[in-house]
Amino acid sequence: MPKFEYKARNMSGTMVTGTMEAVSADALAGDLFGQNITPIEIRQIAGSKEKASASSPTGERSLIDRINLFLSGGNVPVDELIIFSRQMQSLTRAGLPLDRALNGLQASMKNQQFRLILLDVLKGLESGQDLATALGRHPKVFSQLFLSLISVGENTGRLDLALQQVGKYLELEKNTKKQIKTATRYPMFVVIAITVAMAVITVFVIPSFAETFERLQAELPLETRILIGVSDFVIAWWPFMIGGSLALTLSLRTWVKTPEGLLQWDRYKMRLPLAGSLFEQIALARFTRAFAMILKAGVPIVHGMSVVAGAVGNAWIGKNIMGMQDGVTRGESLYRTAVNSGMFTPLVLQMISVGEESGTIDELMLEVAEFYDAEVEYNLKKLSEAIEPILIVFIAGMVLVLALGVFLPIWDLSSAASR
């Protein structure tokens, strides 16, 4: 069994060191926690049979950890963030120090990337940083909204409530994405199936029929000549078609990554038929929900808008929110800036006006968020119902073209042979 050296702190905060045998660094950390000792550093003694686990702050990553890290793609799923928020809320509410809470959580994390991130956050805490600053070292994982709520919770002494709000927000975001995937799963499956079927027919089936018709020297109808021409073109130029499609996709992705490209793309998405209004309502639901949470946490309106603008997931909506922020900074009311933005319906504007006058803007913004959530759920069902007949008509049209192009000349040959 390998031996490990460890540095830790006991309940009184005194540094303790020692050596101990354990199956792994994780097991040793669990044993130390059971003795009310918080490990700071665990290192394998030279000559041991196994390498220290990546869960120790200075240990090397094991081969299994590297494989898991590669398979995860370096991403932290939203489920992990939700669990982290809930567990941290429970631990902080129970009065457990942040460093001990994080130490215990990172040891139980299955996602290797998130475990390494929490270890880095723990190092930040040990160096004297607050939790929001330590989390802010990983902006790809923890959003600006997440960090702002944590910062307010730390400054007000209600970190548990801030973590509760973060968990609820992430849960609602997860449900929204799940609804979108559910609504688009069937159409995407059908489109992929049609694409594969058309590729097989174009590359393998139509050339076989073309050879047969050529040997018979039969006069082919227009539909058949079009299908054969399309098939010949695809077979002759398929490398250039694939290369052109890849180049176009990469160019579009590069353009969208630019600030101006992202702004125009997000604006164009809201003009798409069927789905455009859905994109807008999802962004507005995020804005109203996040804005209500920010206000309820005690963040000033002007600062809260700049935080929320980056959390809506739409650059065009975010630009309009920053325009609202400029209006509030000039001394205009929130209601007036909302009217000038042109983003909200009269009912929502009325609720904003009432909330501003009564001082309950955070509560009414939550009601607005629930209104938009209901609209999103309804429109997602409507979108699914609208796409199905469109797909059926499209499939029927493709089958009709193939039937006319392939079977008409066969029928003509059969008729000529029976005469």
Give the number of domains in the chain: 3
Report the distance separating Cα 69 and Cα 57, nearest Å.
Answer: 16
| CATH number of the domain enclosing 106 | 1.20.81.30
Question: Do the domain assignments include residue 65?
Answer: no
Beta carbons of 326 and 175 less than 8 angstroms apart: no
| Sign for the pseudo-dihedral over CA of 406, 409, 413, 414 | positive
Q: Are 95 and 165 contained in the same domain? A: yes
Residues forming beta bridges with residue 20, ordered by sequence position: 4
| Sign for the pseudo-dihedral over CA of 9, 28, 22, 115 | negative
Q: Are 50 and 81 contained in the same domain? A: no
Q: Which domain holds residue 84?
A: 72-171
Q: Is 283 exposed, middle or buried (0-12, 13-18, 19+ CB in 10 A)?
A: buried
Q: Which residues of the chain are under the pLDDT cut of 70?
A: 1, 9-14, 23-41, 46-75, 218, 412-419
Q: Are 245 and 366 contained in the same domain? A: yes
Report the distance separating Cα 205 and Cα 79, nearest Å.
Answer: 46
Residue with tokens 């996602």: 111
Q: Are 386 and 249 contained in the same domain? A: yes
User: Which of these three, 171, 192, 217, is where a domain ends?
Assistant: 171
Q: Are 9 and 77 contained in the same domain? A: no
Q: Are 157 and 266 contained in the same domain? A: no
Question: Do the domain assignments include residue 67?
Answer: no
Question: Do the domain assignments include residue 13?
Answer: yes
Q: Are 41 and 108 contained in the same domain? A: no
- Considering only CA atoms, which of 133, 150, 31 is closest in space to residue 85? 150
Q: State residue 182's pLDDT score.
A: 82
Q: Are 167 and 178 contained in the same domain? A: no
User: Which of these three, 119, 139, 171, is where a domain ends?
Assistant: 171
Q: Are 311 and 361 contained in the same domain? A: yes
pTM reported for the whole predicted model: 0.66
User: Which of these three, 138, 171, 204, is where a domain ends?
Assistant: 171
Q: State residue 55's pLDDT score.
A: 38
Report the distance separating Cα 213 and Cα 210, nearest Å.
Answer: 5
Question: Do the domain assignments include residue 54?
Answer: yes
**Three-class SS of residue 36?**
coil
Q: Are 179 and 314 contained in the same domain? A: yes
Q: Are 182 and 149 contained in the same domain? A: no
Q: State residue 52's pLDDT score.
A: 38
Q: Are 276 and 339 contained in the same domain? A: yes
Question: Do the domain assignments include residue 25?
Answer: yes
